[in-house]
């Protein structure tokens, strides 16, 4: 079963249709996860729909495309206003805090669970721009490790996926850099962006019993990009 969350229902209904066609069950929840009230609503509705919470994947966030409508949010730190800093932190880090804070007590009631936080290789590398984004993703990675240490005794596993270039609307304006083979090879040995399906497989693995001995893991899904750096 799947609870899919976004600001609005625009793409969620289509996702739910695909889940149902594949033989699964799901529900959609429109919530602002940059606020604690949104996380509280989400956990409550998911539990109401499915009777409990076993797996949480925290993938809420924004990237480079956000700067098209929110100028200054993907700049270097000297060019970043306090408002832009808090904007990105709320969406990319606070949302994870609010969700895991609400999820852990519910997982304890059920004797355990699995949490997968979505970060980025930007949280592992130095960047010339997007400093707030990089800081948020780095914090997500270390939060994952700390949660692993703290909640293993509750049979709650916490892992993290750190993607590189993934072909989503978030980075769609920049994907034409892969059109040139030489440029593509300089970005990642895979010479292409990853697909949403490849990201989903990574998250599914870490959430599954096949990863029962993975805890505090940062699974890099970047086609080899970070291996060069």
Residues 58-107 pLDDT 10s: 999 888 888 888 899 999 999 999 999 999 999 999 999 999 999 999 99
Is residue 98 among the annotated active site residues? no
In the predicted structure, residue 138 carries a pLDDT above the cut 70: yes
For residues 113-141, average pLDDT: 97
Paired strand residues for 114: 55, 157
Token pair 């990319």 is found at 92
How high is the pLDDT of residue 18?
85
3-state secondary structure 89-152: HHHHHHHHHHHHHHHHHHHHHCCCEEEEEECCHHHCCCCCCCHHHHHHHHHHHHHHHHHHHHHH
Separation CA 15–CA 186 (nearest Å): 34
Residues 6+ away with beta carbon under 8 Å from 196: 166, 167, 168
To the nearest whole number, what is the mean pLDDT of the chain?
Answer: 93
How high is the pLDDT of residue 9?
55
54 by DSSP, 3-state: which?
coil
- Output the CA–CA distances (angstroms, integers) from residue 82 to 25, 85, 92, 113, in the order listed: 42, 5, 15, 36
How high is the pLDDT of residue 229?
77
Residue pair 9/28 in contact by the 8 Å Cβ criterion:
yes
Domains annotated for the chain, with CATH where assigned, are 60-102+113-228 (3.40.50.720)
Separation CA 81–CA 61 (nearest Å): 19
How high is the pLDDT of residue 10?
61
Catalytic residue (choose from 98, 133, 151, 213): 133
Residue pLDDT, tens place only, 175-219: 999 999 999 999 999 999 999 999 999 999 999 999 999 999 999
Residue pair 144/119 in contact by the 8 Å Cβ criterion:
yes
Indicate the pTM of the whole model: 0.93
In the predicted structure, residue 12 carries a pLDDT above the cut 90: no
In the predicted structure, residue 1 carries a pLDDT above the cut 70: no
* DSSP result, 56-82: EEE-----GGGGGTSTTTTS-GGG--H
């Amino acid at each position: 079963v799947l609870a899919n969350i976004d600001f609005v229902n625009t793409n969620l209904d289509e996702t739910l249709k695909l889940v149902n066609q594949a033989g699964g069950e799901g529900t959609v929840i429109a919530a602002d996860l940059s606020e604690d009230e949104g996380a509280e609503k989400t956990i409550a509705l998911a539990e109401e729909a499915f009777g409990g919470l076993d797996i949480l994947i925290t993938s809420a966030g924004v990237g480079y495309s956000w700067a098209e409508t929110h100028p200054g949010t993907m700049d270097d730190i000297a060019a970043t206003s306090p408002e832009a800093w808090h904007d990105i932190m709320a969406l990319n880090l606070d949302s994870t805090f609010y969700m895991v804070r609400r999820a852990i007590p519910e997982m304890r009631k059920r004797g355990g669970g699995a949490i997968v936080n979505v970060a980025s290789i930007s949280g592992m590398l130095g960047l010339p721009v997007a400093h707030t984004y990089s800081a948020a993703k780095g914090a997500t990675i270390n939060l994952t490790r700390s949660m692993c240490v703290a909640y293993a005794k509750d049979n709650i596993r916490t892992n993290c996926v750190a993607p590189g270039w993934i072909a989503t609307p978030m980075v769609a304006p920049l994907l034409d850099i892969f059109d040139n083979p030489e440029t593509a090879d300089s970005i990642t040995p895979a010479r292409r962006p990853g697909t949403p399906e490849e990201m989903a497989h990574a998250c599914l693995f870490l959430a599954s019993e096949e990863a029962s001995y993975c805890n505090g893991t940062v699974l890099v899904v970047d086609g080899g990009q970070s291996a060069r750096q």
